[in-house]
Amino acid sequence: HARRIEGIDKNIWVEFTQLAADYKVVNLGQGFPDFSPPSYIQEAFCKAVNGGCSMHQYTHAFGHPPLVSILAKFFGRVVGHEIDAFEDILVTVGAYQALFCTFQALVDEDDEVIIIEPFFDCYQPMVKMAGGKGVYVPLRPRVEGGKALTSADWVLSSEELASKFNPRTKAIVINTPNNPLGKVYKREELQVIADLCIKHDVVCISDEVYEWLTYDGAKHVKIASLPGMWERTVTIGSGGKSFSATGWKEAVAQGFQREYELFGTPESYFLQLPEMLNHKRKKLATCLESVGLQPILPEGGYFMIADISSLKVDLNDPSTQGEPHDYRFVKWLIKEKGLATIPVSAFYSPEHRKDFQNYIRFCFVKEDSTLNAAEDILRKWS
C-alpha cells in the first residue's frame, strides 16, 4: 500500500460496527436513524427513480442543476446574501467526500491543519493523506460545583487556540453542532476563531452536518456568515443527515424545495426532527443520570457523551489489555450486557487520548422502543 495510508487502515466505525453485529445488542453506537425518512422524501426518491431514462444518467459534474439551484436559494436566505448555484456550491457523495475533496484541494505537503477536539475521526487521516499535519486543541470542560453539565460548558481557551496558529497553518476544522459532544458554538466563540483565521490568512472548514438539530434554544450560527469569513470558509452539510436518508440527489432537491416553502412553519422537517429528537435526548439523559452515568447534555446533534469514571466494573478481559479504558468498557458493555455505544477517546489525537478515556457516546436518533430496550439493560445492571 501507499505510504500515505500507513497507520490509517483502521477506524472505530469498522471495529465497533462489526463488534455490535457479532453480538446481539441494542445499538446506540453508530450514528444513523433506525426509522424511515419522512414520507414526502421517500416519494421524491421513487419519483426520481421512475422519472424517465435521463434520471439515471450523468448530471452536471459539480452538482445536479435543480439541486444546486435550490441549495443556493435556500442557503442564500440563511446567510443573507446571494449564493451562485454554479460557482459557490459543489455536490458530493456525502459529507465524507466533501471533507476528503476539501483537504485534497487545500492542503499541501507539510501544511498544518488545526483540529478542535473531540473531532469526527476522519479529519485526521484525511489531513494526513493530503500530506498535512494535524495540530490539536481540545475543548475543555469547565466544571462548576455540582451543576448538571451541558455541552456549552466545554470551551476553547482563546490563548491556547491562538498559540497553534503559525505561518505553516493552512486551515482550521470546526464541527458545530459537534459530534460526539453536541456543542453548538456561540457567535462569540466563532468570532474568536474567525478573527484568528483572518489575522493569519487561514481557511476555515466548517462541518455543519447536524445544523438543524439544536435544542433548548441553542442557535446554530454559520461561521461563513461572519464578516470577512464567506471568502475563506468551506461549509459542509449533509442531505443524508438533514433528511434522515443518505446519498439522494433529486429527492434531496425536492426536500429542500419543500423546506424552502415551509421553513419556519410547524410542517418543516427541520423543526419536526429536532422536536422529536429533543424528547429522545431528555429520555436518554434521565435514564443515564438515574443509573449514575453523568451525561453531558448536548445542545445539538444526536449524540450524548456520559462519564463512566464512577462505574466500578471488572474489566479484566485479557483480549482488550492495554487498550484505553473507554474502549475496554465499550467492548465489555457489548459482550456482557448487549448494549453498543462508542468510546470517546477515538475522537482525540494520540497525545490527548489518555486524558479523555472516561467518556462513552450514546446515539439517540433511535426508535423509542430501541431506547427503552437500552434503558432496561442499564437499569437491570446498575
* CA 120 from centroid of its chain's CA atoms: 6
If the CB atoms of residues 238 and 358 are measured against ligand GLN, the closer one turns out to be 238
Residue placing its CB nearer to ligand PMP in the complex, 30 or 42: 30
Q: 95 contacts which partner out of ligand GLN, ligand PMP, none, CB within 5 to 8 A by kind?
A: ligand PMP
Residues in contact with ligand GLN by the rule CB under 6 A: 13, 30-31, 179
Within 82-165, residue ranges assigned H as helices are 94-106, 123-129, 158-163
Spatial distance between the Cα atoms of 30 and 72, rounded to a whole number of angstroms: 31
Q: Are strands 294-296 and 154-155 parallel, antiparallel or unpaired?
A: unpaired
CB of 180 to ligand GLN, least distance (A): 7
Q: CB of 176: closest distance to ligand GLN in angstroms?
A: 15
> Quick count: other Cβ atoms within 10 Å of Cβ 53?
6
Per partner kind, with CB cut-offs from 5 to 8 A, the member of ligand PMP, ligand GLN, none near residue 170 is: none
Q: How far is the CB of 193 from ligand GLN (least distance, A)?
A: 22
- From the list ligand GLN, ligand PMP, none, partner contacted by residue 30 (C-beta under 5 to 8 A by kind): ligand GLN
DSSP 150: B
Residue whose CB is less far from ligand GLN, 13 or 62:
13
C-alpha to C-alpha distance for 307 and 103, rounded to whole angstroms: 33
Following CA atoms 122, 102, 351, 345 in sequence, which dihedral angle do they give, to the nearest 10 degrees?
-30
| Terminal CA-CA length for the chain | 46
Q: Are 127 and 107 in contact (CB under 8 A)?
A: yes
- Find cell 495510508 and name the residue: 5
The Cβ-side half-sphere exposure at 306, using a 13 Å CA radius, reads 27
Residue 157 and residue 192: Cα distance in Å, rounded? Answer: 10
Instruction: Work out how close the CB of 342 gets to ligand GLN at its nearest, in angstroms, rounded to a whole number.
Output: 7
Which among ligand GLN, ligand PMP, none contacts residue 13 (Cβ within 5 to 8 A by kind)? ligand GLN
Residue in the shown chain whose Cβ atom is closest to ligand PMP: 94
CB of 215 to ligand PMP, least distance (A): 17
Nearest to ligand GLN of 180, 274 (CB atom): 180
Q: Output 107 or 377, the one with its CB closest to ligand PMP.
A: 107
Q: Closest Cα partner for 117 from 377, 289, 346?
A: 346
What residues line the site for ligand PMP (CB under 6 A)?
31, 94-96, 120, 175, 179, 207, 209, 238, 240-241, 246
Residue 300 interacting entry, from ligand GLN, ligand PMP, none, C-beta within 5 to 8 Å by type: none
Least spacing, CB of residue 376 vs ligand PMP, in Å: 27
